[in-house]
Amino acid sequence: MADGFGKFHHQENIQYCRQPRGSLTKTMEHLITAFDEKYINEELLTALNEHYKNCLKELNTDIKYLKTAKQTSNQ
């Protein structure tokens, strides 16, 4: 996301926000596998899932803002 900060075009910045969203989801999938394989317990998985949901919400909020800013700047 830091790479996208300060980009002239909002679309570029949006793309830099979508990439970590995919990485975040992939990380959560790996954590579920770690739980299934008994590397981590349910308590830890639940706590990490809450962090995942919060991060995902923040990323989606940033993307929504950038889309709105993009539309506003095009008018």
Domain carrying residue 51: 2-11+20-74
Q: How far is CA 45 from CA 18, 26, 35, 63, 73, in A?
A: 24, 14, 7, 26, 41
pTM of the model: 0.71
10 Å CB burial of residue 66 (0-12, 13-18, 19+) is buried
Region 4-22 average pLDDT: 68
Into how many domains does the chain fold? 1
pLDDT tens digit sequence for 16-69 = 778 888 999 999 999 999 999 999 999 999 999 999 999 999 999 988 888 887
